[in-house]
Amino acid sequence: MQTLQGTPPVEDGTLIEFKQIGKRYGTGEASFEALKGVDLQIRQGEFVAIMGPSGSGKSTMMNIIGALDSPSRGEYLFKGLHVEKLTRDERALLRRRYMGFVFQGFNLLARTTALENVELPLLYRGVPAAERHRLARAALDRVGLAAWEHHTPAELSGGQQQRVAIARALVTKPLLLLADEPTGSLDSQRSVEIMQLLTDLNREEAITVVLVTHEPDMAVYARRCVRCVDGRIDSDTLQQGR
């Protein structure tokens, strides 16, 4: 990953680029082509929503962007680096250094405090304890949970748990935040709070946000909406955002 670390920013600001990305699962008659030659560019600092019905390819696209899966064909460039050529360990390092993830199910450790959950990515990096505590507290403060650092997930509401998950994704200061149906388990009021938080992070800290959602009410927070149908991009439009 030293190559990426030393790579200067792409001149036009492109962070993510898909060139004819295809993804096929299975073999023979049981095979399924989830993506069919997708071209996509996302510039650093954008807030992009990826939408589409079940089976449209949006989750597969998210998994490839997040280096959780590899394309069957085509090229995927992250800051100009060919991700499709990386080994599994190199992809893991890419995720750890440059990406943060937020999922529908929160994925918090049940028996640990909010602070300890947020510290986890720093622990994997070998950050000393005092620095971990400082950075984790700052991240919790950023999402409005400074007073809740000693509470376990069972003592937090769903919206608070998702804020902890966002703080955990932010604590390493990623270039890219990937949010996969982040409001799917929340009521409407908590959903609006989470989407406003993601909007603020994008605008105030220039974090690139890629959101996968099937909810139009959530997609309107993004400044750009990419709609997938049958493994292809059906439309790619700018919108006002909120």
pLDDT of the residue at 191: 96
**Dihedral of alpha carbons 218, 224, 63, 176, sign:** negative
pLDDT at 28: 86
Record the tokens describing residue 28, joined without a space. Answer: 């023979």
- pLDDT score, position 115: 98
For position 158, what pLDDT does the model report?
Answer: 95
Residue 170, helix vs strand vs coil: helix
Q: Give the pLDDT band (50/70/90) at residue 241.
A: confident
Domains of the chain: 2-238 (3.40.50.300)
Tell me the pairing of strands 14-25 and 73-78: antiparallel
Q: Quick check: 204 pLDDT over 90?
A: yes
- pLDDT band at 2; cut points 50, 70, 90: very low
Q: Report percent pLDDT > 70 for the chain.
A: 95
> How many angstroms from the chain centroid is the CA of residue 98?
10
- What is the pLDDT confidence band of residue 78, given thresholds at 50, 70 and 90? very high
Asked if pLDDT for residue 217 goes beyond 70, the answer is yes
Q: Is the pLDDT of residue 230 over 90?
A: yes
- 21: tokens are 């990305």
Contacting residues for 72 by C-beta, under 8 A, at least 6 apart: 22, 23, 24
Half-sphere exposure of 200 (CA within 13 A, CB side): 11
Rounded to an integer, the average pLDDT of 90-100 is: 94
What per-residue confidence (pLDDT) applies to 10? 64
Write out pLDDT tens, residues 125-180. 899 999 999 999 999 999 999 999 999 999 999 999 999 999 999 999 999 999 99
pLDDT for 227: 97
Residue 7 pLDDT > 60, yes or no? no
As a whole number of angstroms, the distance between CA 207 and CA 47 comes to 8
Q: What is the 3-state secondary structure (H, E, C) of 199-222?
A: HHHHHHHCCEEEEECCCHHHHCCC
Work out the average pLDDT over 195-204. 96
Checking 171-174 for CB contacts under 8 A at 24+ apart, the result is: 171/118, 171/119, 171/121, 171/122, 171/135, 171/136, 171/139, 172/96, 172/97, 172/100, 172/121, 172/122, 172/125, 174/98, 174/99, 174/100, 174/207
> Is the backbone of residue 98 left (phi > 0), alpha (psi -120 to 50) or beta?
alpha
CA distances, 214 to each of 149, 206, 220 (Å): 32, 24, 11
Contact call for residues 78 and 240 (beta carbons, < 8 A): no
**Beta bridge partners of residue 18, listed in sequence order:** 40, 76
For residue range 34-68, what is the model confidence (pLDDT) as tens digits?
A: 999 999 999 999 999 999 998 999 999 999 999 99
Sheet holding 14-25, edge to edge: 32-43, 14-25, 73-78, 81-82
Average pLDDT value for the chain: 94
Q: Say which residue, 211 or 30, is predicted with more confidence.
A: 211
For the beta carbon of residue 151, count every other beta carbon within 10 angstroms: 16
The average pLDDT across 27-35 equals: 91
